[in-house]
Structure 1
Amino acid sequence: MKNAEPEHEQTPEPLRRDDPVVPAPPLIPFTEPWEYELHFPRDPRGPAVARTTLKAVLGAHGLGEFTDRAELLTSELTTNAVRYSLGPATVRLCWTNPVLRVSVMDTCPVFPVPLAQDRPDAERGRGLLILDLLADAWGGCSLGEPLFGVGGKTIWFELVLGGGDPPPGGGTGDGVAPRPPALPVLAA
């Protein structure tokens, strides 16, 4: 009688000490694009996990120049994603030399509106102002209302290595609109 287990499903033999070691791939050159993505649940710890991941990625790729601004902006966007949406969020880091784009996607299709600030020490309503002041470019797009589990929005920001303006045309060439004009602070 034939063996009932097909040949292609046989368990491979375990590695032995004398097996050849497969070399690690080479590091991605600084000028080559890369992308990382982090999905996290609607949990107050999510923004801290996103900040830690961001710092690790930027440090590993030699982009420490971006760390402070990227960390603050990512913290703002991920905190809002946890606070105002009802589902999980995603943070995507994309490097296309010389631009770092960080996108935060959540399940709430409503875009934030600048709040009136009567006091300079207000603790809320400053996210868009901070984006406007610290990002070299920023914007967003709506993913629409939930339909078959899809919906929400993406808000992104870009930081340009060495500071300055983003490449001509704004953005990193992915078809998302360049930075909108500065939003006014609405008076009460």
Structure 2
Amino acid sequence: MGTVSLPDTWVYALRLPHDPRAARVARMTVRAALNGHGRGEILDTVELLTSELVTNAYRHTNGPASLRLTALADGRLRVGVWDSHPRIPAPFGEPPWGRVPPAPTEAEGGRGLRLVQEYADSWGGWPIGDGPLERAAGKLLWFEVGGQQGGGTRTVRA
């Protein structure tokens, strides 16, 4: 009988409470999953960008968040972060997918979504739930890194 080799696809999901330690827990989860699957070459980027999205979920909502890591068959890794706020920020929103301007040098924050623009291969976002944006049950922001795509940053809305 022959051996069948399945693609290295997997999914991890984590529910995060509204807690200032959520970003740290998300980073530890990313580190464990990627090291466990031999994906160390993308660890730093995924850890940084995941931390930024989870931190934003904590800072801009009063509810929980969810993290989902999905290894796709072509070697890409997709990271999704759901939170309860319906507003989709640039660069994740509707066309023209506004670019995030650089944060002022003296600013203590405001660099996270710019990092997604710079380091992710693709990204997107959409509201979750029925009805107009004001009644949505939150949003999902995602990004992808790795795989056999040639690199470079581009925006994809799915």
Amino acid at match of 1:83: R
Amino acid at match of 1:59: N
Larger relative helix fraction = 2
Runs of 4 or more, structure 1, over 3 Å off, are 113-118, 144-147
- Following superposition, the deviation at residue 95 of structure 1 comes to 0.3
Q: 2:122 & 2:70 partners in 1: Cα distance?
A: 14
1:18-44 Cα shifts (integer Å, max 9, x gaps): xxxxxxxxxxx6733110000011000
Range moving further from structure 2, 42-51 or 138-147: 138-147
* Residue from 68, 71, 76 that aligns with 2:44: 68
Matches within 5 A, 1:8-157: 31-96=7-72, 97-113=74-90, 117=102, 119-144=104-129, 151-157=137-143
Q: 1:118 & 1:92 partners in 2: Cα distance?
A: 28
Please state whether the residue corresponding to 1:151 is helix, strand or coil. coil
Point out which structure has higher relative CO (alpha carbons under 8 A, 6+ apart): 2
Amino acid at match of 1:67: L
Normalising by the residue count of structure 2, what TM-score does the alignment of the two structures yield? 0.77
Unaligned runs of 5+ in 1: 1-28, 178-188
Q: 2:43 & 2:102 partners in 1: Cα distance?
A: 28
Number of aligned residue pairs: 140
Please state whether the residue corresponding to 2:138 is helix, strand or coil. strand
Over 3 Å counting, the alpha-carbon distance change for 1:121 and 1:36 in structure 2 is same
Q: 1:117 & 1:62 partners in 2: Cα distance?
A: 34
Contact kept in structure 1, 2:85 and 2:138, CA below 8 Å: yes
Identity %: 43
Q: 2:20 & 2:53 partners in 1: Cα distance?
A: 13
- Following superposition, the deviation at residue 127 of structure 1 comes to 2.1
